[in-house]
Amino acid sequence: MTNSPPPHLDRLDLPALDEKWQRIWAERQTYRTDMDGKRPFYCLMMFPYPSAQKLHIGNAYAFTGVDVYGRYRRQRGDDVFEPLGFDAFGIHSENYAIKVGEHPAVLTARNVEYFREKQLKRLGLGVDWSHEVDTTDPRYYRWTQWVFLQLFKAGLAEHRQGPVNWCPSCLTVLADEQVVGGRCERCGSVVETRFLKQWFIKTTHYAQEMLDALETLDWSERTKLAQRNWIGRSEGALIDFRLDGCARPSVTVFTTRPDTLYGATFLVIGADNPHLDEFVGAGHRESVAAWRRGLPPTDAEPDFAVGIDLGSTAVHPLTGADLPVWAAPYVLGSYGTGAIMAVPGHDERDWQFARAHRLPIVEVITGGDVEREPWTGEGSMVNSGALDGTPSQDGRRRVVEMLEARHAGRFHVQFRLRDWIISRQRYWGPPLPIIHCPVHGPVGVPEADLPVLLPEVKDFRPLGTGVSPLAQAADWVNVPCPICGEPSRRETDVNDNFLDSGWYFMRYPSTDFDDRALDHDRTWRWLPVDMYIGGHEHAVLHLMYSRFLMRALCDLGWVPVPEPYRRFRAHGLLTFGGRGKMSKSKGNVINPDDYMARFGADTLRLYLMFLGPYLEGGEWNDDGMKGQSRFLERVWRCVQLCDSDESGDGERERRRHRTIAAVERSIEELHYNTGISALHELQRGIDGDVAAGRGRRIDARTLVQLLAPFAPHITEELWERLGEAGSVHLAPWPQHDPDLAAEPRVTIAVQVNGKLRATFDCDAGTPAEELSRLALAQPRVQEFLAGRGVRKIIPVVDRVVNLVV
RNA sequence: GCCGGGGUGGCGGAAUGGUAGACGCAGCGGUCUCAAAAACCGCCGGGGGCAACCCCGUGGGGGUUCGACUCCCCCCUCCGGCACCA
ipTM: 0.94
| CA atoms of A600 and A763, how far apart (whole Å) | 46
Where is average pLDDT lowest: A458-472, A529-543, A594-608?
A458-472
Nearest nucleotide (CA of A229 to C1'):
B82
Sign of the four-CA dihedral A748, A751, A755, A756: negative
**C1' (B40) to CA (A642) span, angstroms:** 19
Where is average pLDDT lowest: A54-68, A367-381, A681-695?
A367-381
Task: Provide the pLDDT for residue A7.
Answer: 47
**C1' (B10) to CA (A612) span, angstroms:** 18
Residue from A548, A523, A564 nearest A219 by CA:
A564
Task: Provide the pLDDT for residue A3.
Answer: 40
- A243 pLDDT higher than 80: yes
Residue from A12, A34, A113 nearest A80 by CA:
A34
Nearest nucleotide (CA of A350 to C1'):
B86
**C1' (B85) to CA (A234) span, angstroms:** 9
Higher pLDDT, A663 or A376: A663
Task: Provide the pLDDT for residue A12.
Answer: 93
Output DSSP code: residue A115: I
Task: Provide the pLDDT for residue A581.
Answer: 58
Task: Provide the pLDDT for residue A431.
Answer: 97
Output DSSP code: residue A729: T
Kindly report which amino acid residue has its CA closest to the C1' atom of nucleotide B6: A616
Which three-class secondary structure state does DSSP give residue A192?
strand
- A192 pLDDT higher than 80: no
Average pLDDT over residues A58-74: 95
Q: What is the DSSP string of A413-433?
A: EEES---EE-EESSSSSPBP-
Q: What is the DSSP string of A205-222?
A: GGHHHHHHHHTT-EE-HH
**C1' (B1) to CA (A335) span, angstroms:** 20
Strand-pairing partners, residue A164, are A194
Q: Percentage of chain A surpassing pLDDT 70?
A: 96
- How many other C-beta atoms are found inside a 10 Å radius of the C-beta of residue A259? 30
pLDDT in tens, A83-98: 999 999 988 888 888 8
Nearest nucleotide (CA of A620 to C1'):
B12
Kindly report which amino acid residue has its CA closest to the C1' atom of nucleotide B33: A3
Average pLDDT over residues A542-567: 96
Whether omega before A455 lies within 30 degrees of 0, making that bond cis, reads no
Place A304 in a pLDDT band, splitting at 50, 70 and 90: confident
Are the beta carbons of A267 and A323 closer than 8 angstroms?
yes
Residue from A614, A628, A733 nearest A683 by CA:
A628
Place A301 in a pLDDT band, splitting at 50, 70 and 90: low
Strand-pairing partners, residue A398, are none
Nearest nucleotide (CA of A339 to C1'):
B86
Kindly report which amino acid residue has its CA closest to the C1' atom of nucleotide B31: A3
Residue from A671, A648, A654 nearest A738 by CA:
A654
Nearest nucleotide (CA of A347 to C1'):
B86
**C1' (B66) to CA (A663) span, angstroms:** 35
Nearest nucleotide (CA of A750 to C1'):
B19
Place A368 in a pLDDT band, splitting at 50, 70 and 90: confident
Beta carbons within 8 Å of A258's beta carbon, 6+ residues apart: A236, A237, A239, A395, A396, A399, A400, A403, A409
- A214 pLDDT higher than 50: yes
Kindly report which amino acid residue has its CA closest to the C1' atom of nucleotide B2: A229
- A53 pLDDT higher than 80: no
Q: Are strands A183-184 and A179-180 parallel, antiparallel or unpaired?
A: antiparallel
**C1' (B57) to CA (A64) span, angstroms:** 38
Average pLDDT over residues A232-241: 92
| CA atoms of A178 and A200, how far apart (whole Å) | 15
Q: What is the DSSP string of A301-346?
A: S--TT--EEEEEEEE-TTT--EEEEEEETTS-TTSTTSEEEE-GGG
| CA atoms of A465 and A467, how far apart (whole Å) | 5
- A33 pLDDT higher than 50: yes
The torsion defined by the Cα of A688, A689, A692 and A696, in degrees rounded to 10, comes to -160
Output DSSP code: residue A297: P
- A461 pLDDT higher than 50: yes
Identify each DSSP E strand in A107-219 by its residue range. 133-134, 157-167, 172-174, 179-180, 183-184, 192-201, 218-219
Are the beta carbons of A531 and A44 closer than 8 angstroms?
yes
Higher pLDDT, A706 or A185: A706
Angle, helices A57-75 vs A601-610, to 10°: value is 90
Sign of the four-CA dihedral A569, A574, A575, A581: negative
Higher pLDDT, A387 or A790: A387
Task: Provide the pLDDT for residue A319.
Answer: 95
How many helices (H) and strands (E) are present in chain A, helices listed first?
A: 25, 32
Are the beta carbons of A432 and A144 closer than 8 angstroms?
no
Task: Provide the pLDDT for residue A225.
Answer: 86
The torsion defined by the Cα of A717, A721, A727 and A731, in degrees rounded to 10, comes to -120
**C1' (B75) to CA (A534) span, angstroms:** 36
pLDDT in tens, A127-177: 999 999 999 999 999 999 999 999 999 999 999 887 778 888 888 887 776
Nearest nucleotide (CA of A222 to C1'):
B4
pLDDT in tens, A244-269: 999 999 999 999 999 999 999 999 99
Which whole-number Å values give the CA distances from A472 to A86, A375, A457, A466, A497, in the listed order? 28, 58, 7, 13, 22
Beta carbons within 8 Å of A662's beta carbon, 6+ residues apart: A674, A675, A678
**C1' (B74) to CA (A520) span, angstroms:** 58
- A300 pLDDT higher than 60: no
Output DSSP code: residue A585: T
Place A599 in a pLDDT band, splitting at 50, 70 and 90: very high
Place A661 in a pLDDT band, splitting at 50, 70 and 90: very high
- A687 pLDDT higher than 50: yes
Instruction: Show which positions of strand B are touched by protein (CB under 7 A).
Output: 3-5, 11-16, 18-20, 22-26, 32, 38-41, 54-56, 66-68, 78-86
Which three-class secondary structure state does DSSP give residue A442?
strand
Residue from A555, A549, A679, A536 nearest A605 by CA:
A679
| CA atoms of A355 and A358, how far apart (whole Å) | 5
Residue from A490, A492, A494, A489 nearest A423 by CA:
A494
**C1' (B57) to CA (A584) span, angstroms:** 41
**C1' (B4) to CA (A540) span, angstroms:** 15
- A586 pLDDT higher than 60: no
Element (H, E) at A608: helix A601-610
Distance of CA A154 to the CA centre of its chain: 27
Average pLDDT over residues A666-683: 95
Amino acid at A93: S
Backbone angles phi, psi at A801, to 5 degrees: -125, 125
Backbone angles phi, psi at A674, to 5 degrees: -75, -30
Beta carbons within 8 Å of A11's beta carbon, 6+ residues apart: A5
Mean pLDDT of chain A: 91
| CA atoms of A90 and A430, how far apart (whole Å) | 9
| CA atoms of A680 and A709, how far apart (whole Å) | 15
- How many other C-beta atoms are found inside a 10 Å radius of the C-beta of residue A153? 12
**C1' (B19) to CA (A750) span, angstroms:** 8
Residue from A62, A73, A123, A152 nearest A432 by CA:
A152
Are the beta carbons of A722 and A701 closer than 8 angstroms?
yes
Amino acid at A151: L
Residue from A132, A105, A96, A140 nearest A116 by CA:
A132
pLDDT in tens, A313-329: 999 999 999 999 999 98
Q: Percentage of chain A surpassing pLDDT 90?
A: 67
Ordered alpha helix ranges (H), A423-466 = none
Whether omega before A451 lies within 30 degrees of 0, making that bond cis, reads yes
- How many other C-beta atoms are found inside a 10 Å radius of the C-beta of residue A382? 16
Are the beta carbons of A434 and A490 closer than 8 angstroms?
yes
